[in-house]
């Protein structure tokens, strides 16, 4: 299915949020003096396509990294998924893991 420019724009919004979360992850990795497993939970931004969304998802650093080993996967609050550009691969009470149909764009 060919992607539309609006679908691409929605996916770009998600990449922007993931990039912000990656900066947080990197900061924690560089400045954390304890083992990653001792960090209980961090507040990551919802990586949905709504550019005005400011909701947070609490995850351990280990869980966040496991989800994002697949570069097509994003974390979103329930109800923030956009089924025209992604499918839900995992449902947790506080967040869903979604996977893009297309390769996520670079922004």
Q: Would you kindly state where each structural domain of the chain is located, as residue ranges?
A: 5-100
pLDDT for the residue 51: 84
Q: Mean pLDDT in runs of 10 for the chain (107 residues)?
A: 59 74 77 60 90 92 92 95 94 95 65
pLDDT for the residue 87: 96
Separation CA 94–CA 58 (nearest Å): 8
Q: What is the pTM of this model?
A: 0.73
> Cα 32 to the chain's mean position, in Å?
22
* Cα→Cα distances 36→19, 60, 72, Å: 20, 8, 24
* Cα→Cα distances 16→30, 47, 52, Å: 21, 8, 12
pLDDT for the residue 2: 47
């Amino acid at each position: 299915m060919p992607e539309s420019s609006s679908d691409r724009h929605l996916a770009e919004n998600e990449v922007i949020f993931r990039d912000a979360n990656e900066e947080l992850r990197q900061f924690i990795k560089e400045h954390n003096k304890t083992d990653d497993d001792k960090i209980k939970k961090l507040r990551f931004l919802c990586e949905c396509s709504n550019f005005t969304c400011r909701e947070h998802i609490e995850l351990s650093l280990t869980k966040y990294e496991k989800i994002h080993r697949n570069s097509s996967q994003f974390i979103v609050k329930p109800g923030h998924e956009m089924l025209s550009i992604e499918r839900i691969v995992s449902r947790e009470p506080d967040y869903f893991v979604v996977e893009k149909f297309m390769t996520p764009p670079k922004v």
